[in-house]
Amino acid sequence: MNRHERRKQKKNNKLNQSVNQDLLQGIGLHTNKKYKEAEILYNKVLSSEPKNYEALRHLGILNQDLEDYEKAYNYFLQALKVNPRGFQALSNLATIHMINKNYDLAYKCLNQSFRINSSYVPTINNLAGYYHKINDPKNAIFYSQLSLSFQPNNPLALNQHAKALIINDQLEEAINILEQLNKEHPVNDNFKHNLATAYREMGEFQKANKISSEGFKKDYKNVAYLLGFTKDKNNKLKKEHIEYYDQLLDQENLNLEDKALICHSFFEYFKNQHDYKLAGTYLVKGNDAQYALKSFDLDIEKNFFKKLKLIFKRKIESISEDKIKSQIPIFVCGMPRSGTTLCEQILSSHSKITGAGELDYLAEVTDCRLIQPSEEQIANFENVLKNKKNLQIVRKKYLEKLVKRDKQNAVYICDKMPHNFIFIGLIKHILPEAKIIYCKRDPIDNCFSLFSHKFVEVSHQYSYNQKMLVEYYKLHEDLMKFWFKYYGEDIFVLDNEELVNNQERVSKQLIEFCELKWEKQCLEFHKNKRQVRTASIEQVRKPINKKSIGAWKKYESYLSEIVSELRA
């Protein structure tokens, strides 16, 4: 090496050292939320090294923290152009896809990142989070446990594991973890929110409300606490709180998710204050924002339901299997908000029945989504029904999954997925010994309950648009007429209004339909401490009442399309 080369190498070493120092200093400032100073240093690094992978990636993370997701996305793409095997940037890119509800793209990025480096904890954590989002308990717990096997004390991994435990019906363990995390990290809002969720599902509403109330009083501008605070009837919003959020709603750059959440929170608040005019205004505004998040194609549903009728009009080969003697499924189905959770709560109060909650097992074993299935998924469903062997396989897979949810060696297990009303024909062919209970409710009450509830993620998008909601409800009614024509004698119809007005008589009929002896604790379903993860979580913790019957009448002027189309 000559003198010129040595000088050049020495200069490059100094440059690299300076770049590394700037990058590390920038990351330090970034960690302490000094975003402007960190951005200056990241850009300084790029002025010296335009293809610095870590500087590009951290600029992406910085913009993600600032909620400029488009900029963040572009920086992560630039980082991947520099290093196509950059497993860290792939994991970062997946978080943007998750934020944008592009779960298929998120999974592709995470899967690729995991293949490159199967011990990178952030990717494993994100995989656990992905499976939590799509409600896959088995994989959520697998990846959360894998993450902890590498870093047992990582608070983010512990938090993700607690979330996985919640959807695996292991609430006590989840609460223990989250309580410890909140002791060790008292300023982490995410840990607080997850603990409140766990308490709520356990039926510990006072504890859940206390977390939301304390968080809101500490920082009322943190929208994450707003809904929990406003749902508590004992809480009062101050004028400055309402003005702050009203001004926020007027801002054009407010994201749709926050807009929907704020409006729904105000709907809950003004409903509790008996100001139904203001409540109705926020309800409509919030639903418009929620509906804009993701399109809903009613033609997909029309095509699916039409094909179902054509399939089941044809003769389908019956399967001959030994009848199940225990863990017999009880399918509690109907439109969401039609009383399915109340029905399951009554049933699961019986000593011979386990309530397993909303299970997506039938959709899983047939590889066909219940809502908005693709053409390929509909074809998969048709293929299941082509021969006896396929039906036997689906039956076997379903029962294997179901038995794992039995905690008491029960005679029956409730599968309370409301949309299983779509699969009634399938149930009759693969599980002839199963009990099918169809829950129905006054159509306007049912549709108002759907319209006034904010579901998790972007599920049930049809319910946020009145015209779409009514059309979907009518599609459901039409399909049920078809099922009753073919299988009516084997379906128990649980009328919500009749149950409310004649609780004991209808409850006894329900238990008799399941071929069980009456047990009086079925009348005290609200004392049942089982975990509830549905929209009716609070209602089923209270004795039966008539408050929801005709509740829509207070908002009639805001429900013109629903009322005009469904009023008898």
| Mean of pLDDT values over 346-366 | 90
Q: What are the two backbone dihedrals, phi and then psi, of residue 22, each rounded to the nearest 5 degrees?
A: -65, -40
Q: Which of 190-199, 510-519, 552-561 has the lowest mean pLDDT?
A: 190-199
pLDDT confidence band for 12 (50 / 70 / 90): very low
Q: What is the DSSP letter of 28?
A: H
**What local confidence, expressed as pLDDT, does residue 136 receive?**
81
Residue 73 neighbours by CB under 8 Å, 6+ apart = 60, 93, 96
> 24-38 b/e with 16+ CB inside 10 Å = b?
eebbebbeeeeeeeb
- pLDDT in the model for residue 326: 79
CB-based contacts of 372: which residues, under 8 Å, 6+ apart? 296, 297, 300, 301
Domain annotation covers residue 60: no
Q: Distance between CA atoms of 339 and 16, rounded to whole angstroms? A: 66
- Average pLDDT in the 173-184 region? 94
Q: How many domains are there within the chain? A: 1
In a domain, 369, yes or no: yes
Q: Of 472, 425, 428, 422, whose CA–CA distance to 446 is shortest?
A: 472
Judge whether residue 254 has pLDDT over 80. Answer: yes
Between 342 and 534, the higher pLDDT residue: 342
For residue 2, pLDDT beyond 90: no
Q: What is the mean pLDDT of residues 236-264?
A: 93
How far does the chain reach from its first CA to its final CA, in angstroms? 94
Q: Is pLDDT of 15 > 50? A: no
How deeply is 254 buried, as exposed, middle or buried, from its count of CB atoms within 10 A (0-12, 13-18, 19+)?
middle
User: Mean of the pLDDT values across residues 321-342?
Assistant: 89
pLDDT at position 4 is 44
Sequence-distant (≥ 6) Cβ neighbours of residue 475 within 8 angstroms: 298, 301, 302, 305
Q: Residue type for 208, please?
A: A
What's the domain range around 403?
Answer: 334-566
Is 433 inside a domain boundary?
yes
pLDDT of 281 > 80? The answer is: yes
Lowest mean pLDDT: which of 158-162, 199-203, 443-447, 540-544? 540-544
* Strand ranges (E), 213-358: 328-333, 353-355
Mean pLDDT of the region 487-507? 93
- Assess if residue 163 is contained within a domain: no
Tokens standing for 111? Answer: 């899967």
Mean pLDDT over each residue of the chain, to the nearest integer: 89
pLDDT at residue 404 in the model: 81
What is the pLDDT averaged over residues 421-448?
Answer: 95
Q: Is residue 542 part of a domain?
A: yes
User: Is pLDDT larger for residue 542 or for residue 238?
Assistant: 238
Q: Which two tokens stand for residue 544?
A: 């039966």
Is 181 within 8 Å of 191 (Cβ atoms)?
yes
Establish if 148 belongs to a structural domain.
Answer: no
- Cα separation of 498 and 176, whole Å? 41
Segment 264-268 shows an average pLDDT of 95
Please enumerate in sequence order all residues whose Cβ is within 8 A of that of 421, keeping only pairs 6 or more positions apart, or say none: 333, 334, 335, 438, 476, 479, 480, 483
Q: For 51-101, write each residue's pLDDT tens digit.
A: 999 999 999 999 999 989 999 999 999 999 999 999 999 999 999 999 888
CATH code, 437: 3.40.50.300
pLDDT at 394: 94
| Per-residue burial over 75-114, b = 16 or more CB atoms within 10 Å of its CB, e = otherwise | bbebbbebbeebbbbbbbbbbbbbbeeebeebbebbebbb
Indicate whether 158 belongs to any domain.
no
DSSP label of 135? T
| Greater pLDDT, 254 or 324 | 254
Predicted confidence (pLDDT) at residue 209 exceeds the cutoff of 90: no
With a cut of 90, say whether residue 36 has pLDDT above it. yes
Residue 105 forms part of a structural domain: no
pLDDT at 267: 96
**CA geometry: angle at 499 spanning 340 and 269, to 5°?**
65
Identify whether the C-beta of residue 148 lies closer than 8 Å to the C-beta of residue 163. Answer: no
pLDDT digits over 125-174, tens only?
A: 999 999 988 878 889 999 999 999 999 999 999 999 999 998 887 888 99
Under 8 Å between Cβ of 158 and 125: no
